[in-house]
Amino acid sequence: MTIELQMLGWATALGFVYVFVAIGFATWQRGLKWNTGNRDDAVQPLGKHAQRANRASRNFLETFPFFAAATLAVVVADRTGTQTALGAEIYLIARVLYLPIYIAGIPYLRTLVYIASIWGILQMLEAILF
């Protein structure tokens, strides 16, 4: 199995971590009854850490399809190499770092880590297009 596909597998698992962390923060604030209920009633707004976890989760879901598509295209086109492996690894490392940085509220570092994840995708995209 290629490094790119391994990183895709780990990124998929990481996606679950993002979702479960966001759910965990919301449940911690709103309670188990809210989590297991129908959620028909109005709820209190989430606190800042729960909101950040939710936004980080949504952000992951915005970048992951591009990463997955680039990964699959690179592998199917047999265009894997050092550049694409590094791009996939950087994407994954950046996304691992992004969640705690976002929840902690470190704005400039968060942006740099986000840019690194996009750079990783672009490295793979370059191998496909050029």
Among 30-44, 71-85, 108-122, where is mean pLDDT lowest?
30-44
9-59 pLDDT, tens per residue? 999 999 999 999 999 999 898 877 777 778 777 778 889 999 999 999 999
Q: Give me the pLDDT at residue 33, please.
A: 75
Answer whether residue 87 shows pLDDT above 80: yes
Whether residue 49 contacts residue 101, with contact meaning beta carbons closer than 8 Å, is answered with: no
Structure tokens at 100: 């705690």
User: Cα–Cα distance between 40 and 54 in angstroms, integer?
Assistant: 20
Closest CA to 59 of 21, 102, 10, 11: 102
Domain 3-129 has CATH 1.20.120.550: yes
Cβ–Cβ < 8 Å for 54, 22: yes
* CA 125 from centre of chain: 18
pTM (2 d.p.): 0.93
Instruction: Tell me the C-alpha distance between 101 and 112, whole Å.
Output: 11
